[in-house]
Structure 1
Amino acid sequence: MLTPKFEVHQDDDNLTVKIFAPYSRISDAEINIEGESFIFYSSPYYLRLTLSGKLVDSELEKYKATFDADHGAFVIVCQKETRGEHFANLDMLTTLLAPHGATGVKKPIIEVIGEESTVDEEEEEFDWMYEQALPDENIVTAGHKYGFGNNTTGVFTSLQSELKGVVDVDDPDNKSVSHRREERITQELSLFDEDHYLADYFDVDTAQQCVEFIPEFYSITSDEVELSYQEKEDMLKLPRKDHLLDKGTKSMVYLGLADILYAWCFNHRVTLGENCVESAWNIAKLSSTLSWLDSFTHLKDVAISSVRRSLAFPLVRNWQLSQEVLKDTAQILTLGRKKVLQCLLEIQRFFNLSEPRYLLNQLYITDYCVWVQKVKDNKLISLADSLKKLKVTKSDMCLDLEDLEAAAHLVLEEEEENVLSPEENINNVVTDLSGLTIIENGAALGENDNEEAVVEDAVITSTREGLSHLSDSDSSSSESDSEDDSDEESDSSDSSDDDSSDDDDSEREDSSSDSSELDSDDDTLSENDEE
């Protein structure tokens, strides 16, 4: 049998049920109304609703049934037994589909004599500020538990390959809640990035847009919250079951809900309500319940964990932004279970599209979607009021945020006060600048244009002095070299003169000897002629 899509509306006198059954035969439709039960059958569809008030029985034929051919829907108008009675939870489709059953832990058959009777658990008030203790785990028979109401164990033993993609804790089946919490806090403190935090602290433009964003849920009331067609479709796919929780477990489940809603509100604000491909990661990472399978016993622990993780992991890490998200979480709770259910259904869709995070739906989100439909709004409003009164300070984070911010401001003040002169030695300039902490995008340096100019002037002055020194030494060396060259030239000229004189003398001697020989020859010839 198929469960058809349906809608339920009411007025003072009647209850109208619209059932979409396009593949059924109109002639085969059967309707049975008896008190709080409404049953519709037309093969292959079967629908059974359990209402909060009584209707006039179908045997009296006080109802009216028609078929809307345009939409393929049966429209059945039923008369209320008590006119003017308001039927609750008509939007909570999963609750309407669930059969009547126990809504709380069954009372024990054996009671202690003399013990005063207790009030209904739904009427009990929770002290959200009171530290409660989790029940001891029987690890011999059950192992360490986690999941909705801490009722699951052994899941990750058989899914070790998908563990890293779902949670941050290693081997959760063999670690207690307290052990997981200690490891979580250690990780948060060790992965906190001071540079990233200071960058967002000084670069106000990045976070200011998120801080100034006004989500749409601030402009509506609880009565104006309407579930979409997609959300109603998702509700029909939820299991029909009751969750039997004792008082201590209920408190833990409420606190886990606040933790998950904080992660949803953070993603909603930083994406400006548009969501993105990282929305599933944002929600799973910021929630300690989802990422570390943690269980809370005090509301302040929830707030501290949520804010600290918002300063350690996401892209935008800003204290004011984290405080605004706390207000958003309280606002969501104030709007009641219908708005809370909307947020949970959206988370469920995110995780279904982000493998292997679908496991988080099986462990937490699906059960929360079923459970919250039966929660009374006054419990959620009480939790919201306590969250509004809660004060979370920077010192609660154990991240030395105040000291970090003070040191950053001190560096900026020193930069503004200390103006370096152009005559200062370049080595001192470099030494002073090396002590500064440089943050991303230059956010912590303030107006450092003057400093850069000072360093540039100092470098130019030093370079010019070096160049002038080099020019002087070069000129002196060139003069000495020129003198040496002139001396060498004079020596060489003298030696050349000596050589030339010697050559001239030798030439004269040679020429005189040659002339004497000629003269002697002439004399000989003349004597021979006379003879």
Structure 2
Amino acid sequence: MITPFFTVSQDDEYVYIDVKVSHVRFSSASVEMVVDNDTFIFSMAPYYLRLRFPHACVDDERASASFDSPSECVKIKVPKEQKGQFFPDLDLSTKLLARRTALSEADLHEQGAKVAETQPGGSRPLIQELDVENSVPDTQAKAVLEEGEKFSWEISQEQTQEQPELTGNKYGFNNQYDNIVGVSLSAGNDINELGDPESTPDVDRILERLIKENIKFDPEFYAADYIMEKYPSPDDDKMIRELIEWKNPTTRKFLKWYKAQQEKPENEREQIMAVEFSKDEQEKMMNLPRKSYLIDESYKPQLLILLVNLLFSYHFDLRETEGDHNIESAWTVGKITPQICFLDSKISIPNPNNADNVLKSAVVTGVRRALSYPLHRNYNMVLKVWEDVYYNLRGGKRLVLKSLLDLKELFRFHDVYYVYDKIWLEDLCAWLISDGLSEATIRYLAHDLRKEYTSLQKADITFEKVDGSGEDDEMTALDLNDIEVMAEELYHAYAAS
């Protein structure tokens, strides 16, 4: 059976379902429809559609269906059981298509926790919730914003346990993938930087990343872009100031909404930004996995860090291309995102002597990579990107999902890079839709992130480089302030000559 494309809308009394039935001869006798409480079923060979609504509907004399020939759509009208009741997220097709499960969410988490206890080192559960109903709908906006998780971003200080020798190590969303990235190397995967992505343990991924970032960073490249921004010339091959001043559409959209809310009386202000999805975006969501996820609580911060790093890379590419992705966009996003190029979801090494903030580590990592790989490597431009990420998060789940769906397309149809859509992006988008993440948690994340990037100092961004001034090749720490001072001295010496 084929799941047809559909759209759902509503008013106070009805839910309206438009089901597209292309390339078939319509016959009313072949159509079957069932309304059972919160479940709606449509069947017309070869199409079959089952939707789960957040609230109940009824099948009475008010229900109707008709075929619109020009649009090839069956237009269905189903009455709500309770007139005036609002049905949230009717444009999230993956959420409506989810199946019901006999186990409650609490039961599933309990089972997952019991299984996790039996795994060595507390690894992820072996049981995962597949094709189930998402039974925690967004209701009143204020209630949604009051329910959320605040995370402690301190790096775990547990003693690092010696890892057993393994033939492979899991990676990707919820550590559930292997034998995918390694296979892509023979096809020319130049985003990957791990020497052996299938066998490198997670801690070694971090060490390899840090070493290669130090090697890749070019002080002269950074100094040149710094001078071009501070002392622009018509002969410059990069207009960095223009990129810094460029207005991000997502940021503009949020600020326009926020300004409108501030002008309203406080009791009339919307708590969550209203975001509508286009038909194209709804079609993309229909292709997402239809499942919910058993995510261990200790793993959730890693997913939030993944979200932050992906949004940073995405908005960096948008700013660098001034809103128009190009053929290099997937490479740029992949290279800046440590979870993609190094499969590094932890970012920082657990250490009993290390009480640093893992969110700060994610910010620093994003800055280091954005100053080492792309065509434009400017610190002030990077700070503008972090500001775009903050406003994207402040716009809420739906605005974040819009960005992720756009980002996902950079990888989905690529001959080689599609592997990263498979191991990260598909599941992340589906998890976001499935109420795995509340509006309040995203808002807390936005505010925590802003604290980190606004308090960041150039002295926090350091690279270890070989000091060639002596006979021995010793390593020396070089921060952005050091490089900018040298760049200023050379520029003024050249200008005076």
Give your verdict on TM over 0.5. Answer: yes
Aligned residue type for 1:131? I
Cα distance in 2 between the residues matched to 1:269 and 1:91: 29
- State how many pairs are aligned: 407
Is the Cα–Cα contact under 8 Å of residues 181 and 419 in structure 2 kept in the other structure?
A: no
Q: In structure 1, which of residues 363, 366, 385 is the aligned counterpart of residue 447 of structure 2?
A: 385
Please state whether the residue corresponding to 1:203 is helix, strand or coil: helix
Aligned to 2:43: 41
Aligned residue type for 2:460? D
Aligned to 1:483: none
Please state whether the residue corresponding to 2:56 is helix, strand or coil: strand
The offset of 1:126, in angstroms, is 3.0
Question: Does residue 106 of structure 1 match 2:109?
Answer: yes
TM-score (norm: length of structure 2): 0.76
Cα distance in 2 between the residues matched to 1:129 and 1:308: 20
The Cα offsets for residues 22-41 of structure 1, whole Å up to 9 and x where unpaired, read as 32523111111111111111
Cα distance in 1 between the residues matched to 2:307 and 2:162: 22
Q: In structure 2, which of residues 297, 314, 318 is the aligned counterpart of residue 264 of structure 1?
A: 314
Question: Does residue 405 of structure 1 match 2:405?
Answer: no
Is the Cα–Cα contact under 8 Å of residues 98 and 240 in structure 1 kept in the other structure?
A: yes
Is the Cα–Cα contact under 8 Å of residues 137 and 144 in structure 1 kept in the other structure?
A: no
Cα distance in 2 between the residues matched to 1:308 and 1:388: 18
**Which structure shows the higher helix fraction?**
1
Aligned to 1:231: 281
Question: Does residue 147 of structure 1 match 2:178?
Answer: no
**Cα distance change on mapping 1:138 and 1:215 into 2, 3 Å:** same
Structure ranking higher on relative contact order (CA contacts 8 Å, 6+ apart) = 2
The Cα offsets for residues 370-393 of structure 1, whole Å up to 9 and x where unpaired, read as 111123222211111111111222
Question: Does residue 320 of structure 1 match 2:380?
Answer: yes
Cα distance in 2 between the residues matched to 1:137 and 1:177: 12
The correspondence of residues 46-61 of structure 1 with structure 2, limited to 5 A, is: 46-56=48-58, 58=59, 60-61=60-61
Please state whether the residue corresponding to 1:365 is helix, strand or coil: helix
Q: In structure 2, which of residues 150, 168, 173 is the aligned counterpart of residue 126 of structure 1?
A: 150
Aligned to 1:468: none
Aligned to 2:460: 396
The Cα offsets for residues 139-165 of structure 1, whole Å up to 9 and x where unpaired, read as 567842210111222334555414743
Aligned residue type for 1:20? K
Q: Which stretch of structure 1 is more off in the superposition, 392-401 or 30-39?
A: 392-401
Please state whether the residue corresponding to 1:209 is helix, strand or coil: helix
Which runs of 5 or more structure 1 residues have no equivalent in the other structure?
Answer: 112-119, 416-444, 452-531
Aligned residue type for 2:419? L
Larger Rg: 1
C-alpha root-mean-square deviation of aligned residues, in Å? 2.5
Question: Does residue 88 of structure 1 match 2:152?
Answer: no
Cα distance in 2 between the residues matched to 1:139 and 1:385: 39
The Cα offsets for residues 364-418 of structure 1, whole Å up to 9 and x where unpaired, read as 11111211112322221111111111122212211311011112223445x3xxx
**Cα distance change on mapping 1:168 and 1:109 into 2, 3 Å:** closer
Q: Which stretch of structure 1 is more off in the superposition, 80-89 or 125-134?
A: 125-134
Is the Cα–Cα contact under 8 Å of residues 13 and 84 in structure 2 kept in the other structure?
A: yes
Please state whether the residue corresponding to 1:243 is helix, strand or coil: coil
The offset of 1:138, in angstroms, is 7.4
Question: What percentage of aligned pairs have identical amino acids?
Answer: 29
**Cα distance change on mapping 1:315 and 1:87 into 2, 3 Å:** same
Aligned residue type for 1:211? I
Cα distance in 2 between the residues matched to 1:8 and 1:258: 31
Is the Cα–Cα contact under 8 Å of residues 166 and 359 in structure 1 kept in the other structure?
A: no
Aligned residue type for 1:21? V
The correspondence of residues 191-270 of structure 1 with structure 2, limited to 5 A, is: 191-204=216-229, 205=232, 206-220=239-253, 221=257, 223-270=273-320
The Cα offsets for residues 2-43 of structure 1, whole Å up to 9 and x where unpaired, read as 111111111222211111113252311111111111111111
